[in-house]
Structure 1
Amino acid sequence: MTPTLTAERLDLNRVSPEIYAAMIALDTAARQDLDPTLAELIKIRASQINHCANCIDMHTHAARRRGETEQRIYLLSAWREMPELYTERERAALALTEEMTVLSGGEHVSDEVYAQAAAVFAERELGQVIAMALTINAWNRIAVTTRMRPPVRS
């Protein structure tokens, strides 16, 4: 039985503006020196894993505005099946994002995935990829917990 989702539970920006402001600052810092297309792919993929409808909606729209193709957006959850659609750097970032996002059951970021990312990103870039994955995971948890929902479009 699927639970019924109610309206948004609370507005974090209203009740804890200092936390919301800190998240905005973290998001801004994570985006520095990171390719905007890569940042959106990271945000979409983590949001898919976390079942965050609000963030999936927001970041797929943002990716489209940046010129991302429908095919790459639609196939992002199956990127390993179509590696030719994504660059080596994107694949490394997506693998790292997935392992950072799914940490249950004793899982961890493997040496193989970390080494793959470290091989294609400069140290600063790798730090930014990690920060972006960390940030979107935090946003996802806020949005899912407070039941932030995207607008229904016709």
Structure 2
Amino acid sequence: MRTRTTLLDGGVHSALRAVGAAAKRGLGDAGLAELVQIRASQLNHCAYCLDMHLGIAREQGVSERQLDLLAAWEEAGEVFDGRVRAALALTEAVTVLTEGFVPDAVWEEATRHFDADALAHLLALIAAINSWNRLMVTRRIPAGGTAW
């Protein structure tokens, strides 16, 4: 088997960072942004992104209880409010696309909690973290890895 590349073009790296940063700023909720990125990274089995975003989430004040229960958010009751639950449901639907599209019910629930601008930024954030996850998992960059 050929060795997997650890290289990532500098322009691609900069562009993806810019998309993620713009999406986070536009969303305006740093804690929610981290929960979304962690949940997508859990689904994609991306140790690198999990390691990074769990640390950032703690710095942003996301509770340990939320971090501990994120993988089972649907069963976690009041730990996650309706807005966070809508964002996590959208994150899962976009990340997995099991039926080839985001279900209308998931989209409608998201529109109840986010205006058009915030929803556009949330969707961009989900797309960005999924891109990062795929780049890191495909290249098998480990948690704490520094190779690009």
Matched, 1:45 2:39: yes
Matched, 1:71 2:51: no
2:107 to 114, 120, 137: 114
Give 1:147 shift.
1.4
- Give the aligned residue type for 1:124: D
CA deviations over 1:65-104 (Å, ceiling 9, x no partner): 1111111101101000013101111000000000000024
Q: Distance in 2 between matches of 1:24 and 1:151?
A: 17
Could you list the runs of 5+ residues in structure 2 that have no partner in the other structure?
A: none
Q: Which residue of 2 aligns with 1:133?
A: 126
Q: In structure 2, the residue corresponding to 1:150 is in which secondary structure?
A: coil
| RMSD (CA atoms) | 1.6
Give 1:126 shift.
0.6
Could you state the TM-score of these two structures normalised by the residue count of structure 1? 0.87
Could you list the runs of 5+ residues in structure 1 that have no partner in the other structure?
A: 1-6
Q: Which residue of 2 aligns with 1:149?
A: 142
Q: Which residue of 2 aligns with 1:10?
A: 6
Give 1:8 shift.
6.9
Percent of residue pairs bearing the same amino acid type: 43
- Give the aligned residue type for 1:112: A
Q: Distance in 1 between matches of 2:72 and 2:53?
A: 17
Runs of 4+ in 1 over 3 A off after TM superposition: none
Q: Distance in 1 between matches of 2:4 and 2:46?
A: 13
Q: Distance in 2 between matches of 1:27 and 1:67?
A: 19
For the 8 Å contact 2:6–2:139, the answer to whether it is kept is yes
Give 1:10 shift.
1.3
Could you state the TM-score of these two structures normalised by the residue count of structure 2? 0.90
Q: In 2 relative to 1, CA 39–8 (structure 1 residues): closer, same or farther, beyond 3 Å? A: farther
CA deviations over 1:120-154 (Å, ceiling 9, x no partner): 111101111111111100000011011111239xx
Q: In structure 1, the residue corresponding to 2:26 is in which secondary structure?
A: coil
